[in-house]
């Protein structure tokens, strides 16, 4: 979108100096120097207010808002644009009025998804530009209107504006608009299914965009070109263009620049507070609303904490139960046969207990995680709330705890089989480092990585189990280290045929482990040092690591000294086969998000789950219908057509398996995804026999659900569960 920030000229010396500062802020913004631009704009605002110059105040707010828009701070950008417009309306300068209305139109159309209100602002901008005969501003605003209509898929309304900018580009356009002009033509011809014409325009836009310093329009050209290529079935080139789009956006959105600029933004907000003229009644009202939200967050946090304590109590009871059974077996040795039967029964009960508890916990966890995300989406002002952050962390910690218990149970029952997948070890370790950055930051630690360059780029092995080992080891080191470092080191120590033996060292300079405790730490539920410091955890992490390494035919050793840190060492053999690696990589399918609007049916008897699942689906612009029973699902498919069905398993009267069987008997072949809190391994066979196409476990990442839906609807892997 094109922001219109004009610069006026005056013969007055002091006013001219202020305008020169405004020009400096504009130039800094064009170079994405947000901190410098905001600092200068803040200074201009102070001078303008001192002079009581409404025009200069409006220009200052326009520049401040443009910075926040570039940093994707949409709410702040809209606030400052409207504040600037309020001052501009006090002046007789139609140029600044046109500029601010144009920029507010950009916010509503492209950020707030309110096309009608955005176009109203654009039309106001056109009125002012036409009044002063500013052809350049008219051209930019009409280009934005065409883009907004195309962005929403309304090519019929956008076509007259495209015709205008095509006709007048040579007179009023220029290098700053030509890339967008070509891209808009490409979007139009893509919609008209004239793919060859569209492709020429996109390629021309990309070529021109590579020759200018401002790369934002070039990134959008790559994005729209990818959509065309996807429609043509050229998924590889579409994927490459999306990679280029992401790369350019990443280079533009420099997190350090944004972070420093946010500091200046805070100062701007402080200035605003000093100048605010809100009444005391409004302040009291806002405080009451904030207090009410805080109370809600505290209640939710207490609920989550209670669930965590209940789980820990159940885990403790389960551990005591097992110890008691072992003691009974030793005492009653003469009754070995009877004791063996009791032990088998106890093991079965434990598995059933873990499975039941996991299912019963995942269902409310789905609600906690979902409602937390809904609060963040619907109440942006709570994004920085420590209570909401604590709630979200507690929910994730509880989910991790449930998964740890299930993991131990699966290992003990020998239900884990290692897979052979191609993966990049460096990428996996770096991804783990990023995912653990929150723990590292909370303990003020640094994570260092050292990878032997002789290790091949792609290895073959079970990357999921490998990642679990590294995550558990590094997170354990971070928890017992403060103001220190955790080093991850990988060295190639031996090659036998295709097997590459890689030695891993996880080293920290934390509290260390006493020699008498070093053998205990790999036992379940053991936590050394609990008496002195409250380290979070259940004592399952290192036990899981040891057992997973046994699956890799490996062992783990450690060296440690109290107060001098700990080093864990283990070796894993991965295969290296360039031919097989190439075959596996070529089989990887590119997951591109579809532009189609699919109609989804949700079958779930839980009202909270219905609400959360509907929010997730509708947020992705899919249509959603919800029924609360299997019978209702059988009735609604007779009157409506759906692209995919999300089926809960545990429902009264008729469960998800039986409902799916009856759908298939009626001839309904719509793909069905089981949306359940059961462990996948427990229901996969029954799901297949019932006609269910795939399974996803609650709570889940929305991206995983939509990837699964796209794969099923485009007939990728639809005949087998993944």
Tell me the CATH number at 632.
3.40.50.2300
Q: How far apart are CA 157 and CA 153, in angstroms?
A: 9
We report the CATH number of the domain holding residue 467 as: 3.30.565.10
The answer as to whether 107 is a domain residue is no
> Do 288 and 395 share a domain, yes or no?
yes
pLDDT, residue 439, reads 82
Q: Which residues make beta-bridge pairs with 487?
A: 448, 507
Q: What is the mean pLDDT of residues 432-461?
A: 88
The answer as to whether 645 is a domain residue is yes
The answer as to whether 128 is a domain residue is no
pLDDT digits (tens, 9 = 90+) for 449-492: 999 999 998 899 888 788 888 988 898 888 889 999 999 999 99
Q: Which residues contact 89 (CB under 8 A, 6 or more apart)?
A: 97
Q: How far apart are CA 707 and CA 593, in angstroms?
A: 8
> Do 433 and 581 share a domain, yes or no?
yes
Q: What is the mean pLDDT of residues 536-558?
A: 78
Encode 568-627 in three state secondary structure: EEEEEEEECCHHHHHHHHHHCCCCCCCCCCCEEEEECCCHHHHHHHHHHHHHCCCEEEEE
Query: Coil, strand or helix: which one is 191?
Result: helix
Q: How far apart are CA 648 and CA 668, in angstroms?
A: 17
| pLDDT tier for residue 604 given thresholds of 50, 70 and 90 | very high
Q: How far apart are CA 277 and CA 150, in angstroms?
A: 41
> Do 369 and 264 share a domain, yes or no?
no
> Do 608 and 512 share a domain, yes or no?
no
Of residues 622 and 265, more confidence is placed in 622
The one-character DSSP state at 162 is H
* Token output for 89: 């309306």
| Angle value at C-alpha 208, between 202 and 209, nearest 5 degrees | 85
pLDDT, residue 441, reads 86
Residue 259's domain comprises 13-72+255-277
Which of 536, 564, 587 is the C-terminal boundary of a domain? Answer: 587
The answer as to whether 131 is a domain residue is no
pLDDT digits (tens, 9 = 90+) for 136-194: 899 999 999 999 999 888 999 999 999 999 998 888 877 778 999 999 999 999 999 99
> Do 571 and 426 share a domain, yes or no?
yes
User: pLDDT above 70 covers what percent of the chain?
Assistant: 78
- CA-CA distances (angstroms) from residue 640 to 594, 645, 666? 22, 12, 14
* Token output for 435: 């995912």
- CA-CA distances (angstroms) from residue 38 to 107, 436, 464? 19, 33, 45
The answer as to whether 467 is a domain residue is yes
> Do 682 and 612 share a domain, yes or no?
yes
pTM exceeds 0.75: no
Helices (H), 233-335: 235-252, 255-275, 280-331
Which of 536, 557, 587 is the C-terminal boundary of a domain? Answer: 587
Of residues 362 and 215, more confidence is placed in 215
Overall number of domains in the chain: 4
> Do 575 and 456 share a domain, yes or no?
yes
The answer as to whether 537 is a domain residue is yes
**Pick from 436, 344, 363, 371: nearest CA to 402:** 363
> Do 579 and 438 share a domain, yes or no?
yes
**In this structure, are residues 376 and 383 in contact, taking their beta carbons and an 8 Å threshold?**
yes
> Do 546 and 614 share a domain, yes or no?
no
Hunting for tokens 């109370």 — which residue is that? 295
**Pick from 147, 211, 214, 152: nearest CA to 183:** 147
φ, ψ of residue 624 to 5 degrees: the values are -140, 135
> Do 472 and 554 share a domain, yes or no?
yes
Q: How far apart are CA 104 and CA 81, in angstroms?
A: 6
Per-chain mean pLDDT for the chain:
81
> Do 502 and 576 share a domain, yes or no?
yes
The answer as to whether 719 is a domain residue is no
The answer as to whether 638 is a domain residue is yes
Q: Is the pLDDT of residue 565 over 60?
A: yes
DSSP 163-177: HHHHHHHHHH--HHH
pLDDT digits (tens, 9 = 90+) for 297-347: 888 889 988 888 888 888 888 888 888 888 887 887 767 777 666 655 555
> Do 653 and 579 share a domain, yes or no?
no
């Amino acid at each position: 979108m094109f922001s219109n920030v004009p610069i006026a000229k005056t013969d007055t010396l002091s006013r001219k100096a202020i305008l020169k500062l405004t020009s400096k802020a504009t130039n800094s913004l064009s170079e994405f120097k947000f901190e410098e631009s905001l600092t200068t704009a803040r200074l201009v605002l102070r001078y303008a207010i001192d002079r009581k110059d409404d025009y200069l105040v409006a220009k200052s707010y326009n520049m401040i808002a443009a910075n926040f828009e570039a940093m994707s701070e949409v709410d702040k950008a809209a606030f400052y644009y409207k504040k600037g417009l309020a001052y501009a309306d006090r002046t007789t300068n139609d140029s600044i009025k046109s500029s601010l209305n144009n920029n507010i139109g950009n916010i509503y159309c492209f950020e707030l998804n309110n096309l009608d209100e955005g176009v109203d602002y654009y039309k106001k901008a056109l009125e002012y530009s036409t009044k002063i005969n500013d052809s350049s501003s008219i051209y930019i605003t009409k280009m934005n209107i065409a883009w907004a209509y195309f962005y929403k898929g309304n090519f019929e309304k956008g076509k007259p504006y495209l015709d205008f900018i095509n006709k007048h580009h040579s007179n009023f356009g220029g290098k700053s608009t030509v890339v967008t002009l070509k891209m808009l033509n490409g979007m139009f011809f893509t919609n008209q299914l004239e793919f060859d014409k569209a492709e020429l325009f996109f390629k021309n836009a990309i070529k021109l965009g590579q020759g200018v310093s401002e790369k934002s329009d070039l990134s959008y050209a790559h994005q729209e070109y990818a959509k065309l290529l996807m429609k043509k079935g050229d998924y590889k080139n579409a994927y490459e263009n999306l990679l280029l789009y992401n790369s350019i956006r990443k280079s533009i959105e420099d997190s350090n620049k944004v972070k420093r600029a946010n500091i200046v933004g805070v100062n701007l907000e402080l200035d605003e507070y000093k100048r605010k003229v809100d009444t005391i009644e409004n302040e009291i009202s806002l405080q009451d609303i904030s207090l009410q939200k805080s109370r809600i967050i505290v209640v939710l946090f207490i609920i989550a904490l209670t669930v965590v304590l209940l789980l820990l109590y159940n885990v403790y009871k389960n551990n005591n139960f097992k110890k008691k059974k072992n003691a009974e077996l030793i005492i009653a040795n003469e009754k070995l046969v009877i004791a063996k039967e009791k032990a088998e029964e106890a093991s079965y009960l434990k598995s059933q207990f873990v499975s039941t508890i996991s299912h019963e916990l995942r269902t409310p966890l789905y609600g906690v995680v979902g409602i937390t995300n809904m609060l963040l989406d619907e109440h942006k002002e709570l994004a920085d709330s420590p209570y909401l952050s604590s709630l979200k962390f507690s929910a994730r910690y509880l989910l991790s705890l449930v998964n740890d218990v299930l993991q131990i149970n699966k290992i003990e029952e020998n239900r884990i089989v290692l897979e052979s997948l191609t993966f990049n070890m460096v990428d996996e370790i770096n991804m783990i480092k990023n995912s653990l950055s929150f723990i590292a930051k909370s303990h003020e630690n640094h994570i260092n990585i050292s990878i032997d360059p002789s290790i091949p780029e792609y290895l073959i092995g079970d990357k999921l189990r490998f990642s679990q080992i590294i995550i558990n080891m590094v997170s354990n080191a971070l928890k017992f280290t403060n103001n220190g470092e955790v080093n991850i080191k990988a060295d190639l120590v031996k090659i036998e045929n295709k097997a590459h033996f890689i030695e891993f060292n996880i080293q920290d300079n934390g509290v260390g482990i006493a020699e008498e405790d070093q053998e205990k730490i790999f036992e379940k539920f053991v936590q050394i040092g609990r008496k002195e410091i409250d380290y979070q955890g259940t004592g399952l992490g290192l036990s899981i690591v040891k057992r997973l390494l046994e699956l890799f035919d490996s062992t783990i050793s450690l060296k440690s000294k109290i107060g001098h840190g700990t080093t864990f060492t283990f070796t894993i053999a991965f295969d290296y086969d360039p031919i097989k690696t190439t075959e596996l990589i070529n089989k990887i399918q590119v997951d591109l998000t579809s532009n189609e609007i699919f109609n989804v049916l949700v079958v779930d008897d839980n009202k909270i789950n219905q609400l959360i699942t509907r929010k997730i689906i509708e947020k992705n612009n899919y249509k959603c219908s919800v029924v609360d029973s299997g019978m209702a699902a059988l009735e609604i498919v007779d009157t409506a057509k759906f692209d995919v069905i999300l089926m809960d398993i545990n429902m009264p009267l008729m469960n998800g398996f039986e409902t799916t069987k009856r759908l298939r008997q009626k001839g309904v072949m719509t793909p069905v995804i089981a949306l359940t809190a059961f462990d996948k391994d427990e229901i996969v066979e029954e799901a297949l026999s019932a006609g269910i196409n795939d399974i996803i476990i609650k709570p889940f990442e929305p991206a995983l659900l939509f990837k699964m839906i796209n794969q099923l609807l485009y007939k990728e892997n639809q005949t087998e569960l993944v």
